[in-house]
């Protein structure tokens, strides 16, 4: 196995394990077996693709797990490919292996390979672009979510995207709850609006990794809140 593929498989293994999946040693065919609850789920290939048997994803639980593996594999392949092609980041006082993944408006996004996975960092360039300041560190313990968070941080710190254009996870959680309250109610809505709301809910699910926990916490806080005093309407 070439070194680039080995680094990708090592990173993918760490990310899949973070997601609660089991990864077996590479096969003679150069594939990476992935298991769910002790049973075969799929095979990961070099470059971010996944191969599976239909019977191994026969129910919703296993299909959701397969979708999770596919997303993790594609995201891991994306940033590992960038890591392989990126030049070294050099700056005053910076030691170690840091790759320059993006540089805009005196803000950089760097990747730092470690034995626990790739760490992502955003820095501001200072001292005539010779030094780095105020590092924001992501991962590697959070798996591919670190890459997603680091990209968003770089986009807002560098001014590529205004912060006001992004919703915080807390805001997205309440929007998600409101969408489902509308969809689950008997209030009549058009099929077009229903499809739009369902699509928005699915998009929020993809972008808030701990959404289920946040929704549960929000529901609990609402149940625990004291009843409002004052004038009541019925």
pLDDT at 209 over 80: no
Give the start-end residues of each E strand in the chain.
Answer: 22-23, 32-36, 39-44, 50-51, 99-104, 107-114, 117-126, 131-138
Three-class DSSP category at 112: strand
What letter does residue 88 receive in the DSSP assignment? B
The pLDDT, as a whole number, for residue 230 is 53
CA–CA distance, 174 with 197 (Å, rounded to integer) = 14
The pTM of this model reads: 0.76
- Both tokens of residue 91? 């700056």
State the average pLDDT over residues 24-43: 95
CA distance to 37, 39, 161, per residue, from 61 (Å): 11, 13, 36
User: According to the model, what pLDDT value does residue 232 have?
Assistant: 47
pLDDT digits (tens, 9 = 90+) for 41-77: 999 999 899 999 999 999 999 999 999 999 999 999 9
* CB distance 69 to 34 below 8 Å: yes
Mean pLDDT over the full length of the chain: 91
Q: What is the mean pLDDT of residues 203-229?
A: 81
> Sorting pLDDT into bands at 50, 70 and 90, what band is 169?
confident
User: pLDDT tens across 70-90, in order?
Assistant: 999 999 999 999 999 999 999
Closest to 99 (Cα-Cα) out of 7, 25, 33: 7
Q: Taking CA 159 as the corner, what is the angle to CA 154 and CA 164, rounded to the nearest 5 degrees?
A: 95
Q: At residue 2, does pLDDT exceed 90?
A: no
Residue 12, classified by CB atoms within 10 Å of its CB into exposed (0-12), middle (13-18) or buried (19+), is buried
Picking from 138, 23, 119, 114, the residue whose alpha carbon sits closest to that of residue 73 is 23
Residue 76 · residue 62 · CB < 8 Å: no
Domain segments of the chain as ranges: 3-84, 86-161, 169-223
């Amino acid at each position: 196995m070439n070194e680039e593929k080995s680094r990708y498989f090592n990173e993918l293994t760490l990310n899949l394990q973070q997601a609660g999946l089991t990864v077996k040693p590479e096969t003679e065919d150069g594939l990476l077996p992935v298991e769910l609850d002790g049973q075969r789920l799929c095979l990961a290939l070099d470059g971010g693709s996944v191969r599976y048997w239909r019977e191994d994803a026969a129910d919703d639980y296993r299909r959701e797990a397969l979708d999770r593996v596919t997303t993790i594999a594609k995201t891991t392949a994306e940033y590992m490919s960038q890591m392989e092609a990126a030049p070294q980041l050099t700056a005053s006082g910076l030691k170690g292996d840091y790759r320059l993944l993006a540089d805009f408006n005196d803000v950089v996004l760097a990747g730092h390979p470690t034995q626990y996975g790739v760490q992502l960092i955003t820095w501001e360039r200072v001292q005539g672009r010779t030094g780095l300041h105020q590092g924001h560190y992501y991962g590697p313990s959070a798996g591919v979510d670190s890459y997603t968070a680091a990209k968003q941080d770089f986009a807002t710190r560098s001014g590529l995207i205004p912060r006001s254009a992004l919703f915080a996870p807390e805001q997205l959680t309440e929007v998600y709850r409101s969408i489902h309250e509308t969809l689950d109610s008997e209030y009549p809505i058009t099929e077009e609006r229903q499809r739009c709301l369902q699509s928005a809910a699915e998009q929020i699910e993809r972008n808030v990794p701990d959404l289920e926990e946040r929704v549960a916490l929000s529901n609990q806080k609402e149940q625990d809140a004291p009843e409002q005093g004052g004038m009541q309407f019925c």
